[in-house]
């Protein structure tokens, strides 16, 4: 009779069984998974937080810039209007011919516009003009000058008058600077000055002068130069008075 060495079989399978039991043991798995996963979740959470703060700060700068430009364009017809409410004292108006002499409309009509218009910088309140248009821009940029820097400009293209505002916020937290790689947050907006009655008057004036120039006996160029000289003399005399 033949006997099988059972002890040898168990001696061979014994280590495999022990190894399987070791892999099946879940003791400490939660700590191990937490040590591996928690840092990744922590970093992703802070990245999302920084991104949300960056978007929020950009939105705040854009909102304030857009509101300032829209209010300036809305109050453009009267320099006595309050920049925030648009209210003005009774009987307070600009001069009768302020659109002709102080608003740059002649430059647009006669082709003297350099394409830059009038601009003021804030918070220093310096700029490329010191007339009525510049004072309106300074009043409109006042609410932004407390903690923002930039420039507000006005350009009159005869049939389109635009108030452009560029603002920057340099008080950016250091984490956002490292996250975005920039030292400021900025926004740029444009607002159109809307005056239906003035638009109709300007359109009719352009039509009138265009018809007169085409029918002039001395030619369009000579007639245009005559108009420029007349309006320039009137503007200079009005400025001296």
The 3-class secondary structure across the chain, one letter per residue, is CCCCCHHHHHHHHHHHHHHHHHHHCCCCHHHHHHHHHHHHHHHHHHHHHHHHHHHHHHHHHHHHHHHHHHHHHHCCCCCCCCCCCCCCCCCCCCCCCHHHHCCCHHHHHHCCCCCCCEEEEECCCEECCCCHHHHHHHHHHHHHCCCCEEEEEEEECCCCEEEEEEEEECCCCHHHHHHHCCCCEEEEEEEECCCHHHHHHHHHHHHHHHHHHHCCCCCHHHHHHHHHHHHHHHHHHHHHC
| Same-domain check for residues 114 and 160 | yes
Claim to verify: residue 148 and residue 186 sit in the same structural domain:
yes
Are 131 and 149 part of one and the same domain?
A: yes
In a domain, 229, yes or no: yes
pLDDT at 10: 47
Inside any domain, residue 43 = yes
Residue 24 lies inside a defined structural domain of this protein:
no
Has residue 16 been placed in a domain?
Answer: no
179 shares a domain with 214: no
Percent of the chain, pLDDT > 70?
Answer: 71
Tell me, yes or no, whether 161 and 175 share the same domain. Answer: yes
8-17, 88-97, 226-235, range with greatest mean pLDDT: 88-97
Per-residue pLDDT tens digits for 174-217: 666 666 666 678 899 999 998 888 778 778 877 887 888 787 77
Number of structural domains, the chain? 2
Pair 105, 188 in one domain: yes
pLDDT tens digits, one per residue of 152-180: 999 887 778 899 999 988 777 766 666 66
- What pLDDT does residue 106 have? 60
Claim to verify: residue 139 and residue 170 sit in the same structural domain: yes
Model pTM greater than 0.75?
no
Does 231 or 36 have the greater pLDDT score? 36
Residue 14 lies in a domain: no
Domain assignment present for 132: yes
Banded pLDDT at 5 (limits 50, 70, 90):
low
Question: How much is the mean pLDDT over the chain?
Answer: 77
Determine the structural domain holding residue 161 and report its residue range: 29-85+95-193
Contact criterion met (CB below 8 Å) for 150 and 119: no
**Same domain flag for 157 and 224:** no
> Same domain, yes or no, for 108 and 137?
yes
Q: Which residue did the predictor score with more confidence, 21 or 30?
A: 30
* Same domain, yes or no: 119 and 219: no
- Both 79 and 110 in one domain: the answer is yes
């Amino acid at each position: 009779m033949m006997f099988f060495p059972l002890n040898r079989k168990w001696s061979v399978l014994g280590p495999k069984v022990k190894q399987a039991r070791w892999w099946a043991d879940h003791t400490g798995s939660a700590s191990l998974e937490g040590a591996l996963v928690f840092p990744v979740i922590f970093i992703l959470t802070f990245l999302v937080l920084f991104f949300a703060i960056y978007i929020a700060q950009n939105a705040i700068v854009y909102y304030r810039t857009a509101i300032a430009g829209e209010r300036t364009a809305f109050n453009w017809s009267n320099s006595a209007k309050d920049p925030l409410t648009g209210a003005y004292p009774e009987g307070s108006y600009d001069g009768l011919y302020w659109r002709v002499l102080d608003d740059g409309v002649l430059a647009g009509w006669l082709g003297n516009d350099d394409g830059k218009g009038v601009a003021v910088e804030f918070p220093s309140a310096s700029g490329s003009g010191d007339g009525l248009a510049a004072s309106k821009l300074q009043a409109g940029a006042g609410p932004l000058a407390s903690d923002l820097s930039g420039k507000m400009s006005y350009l009159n293209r005869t049939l389109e008058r635009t108030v452009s505002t560029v603002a920057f916020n340099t008080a950016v937290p250091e984490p956002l600077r490292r996250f975005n790689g920039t030292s400021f947050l900025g926004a740029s907006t444009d607002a159109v000055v809307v005056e239906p009655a003035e638009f109709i008057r300007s359109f009719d004036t352009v039509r009138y002068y265009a018809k007169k120039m085409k029918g002039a006996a001395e030619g369009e160029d000579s007639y245009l130069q005559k108009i420029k000289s007349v309006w320039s003399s009137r503007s200079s005399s009005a400025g001296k008075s």
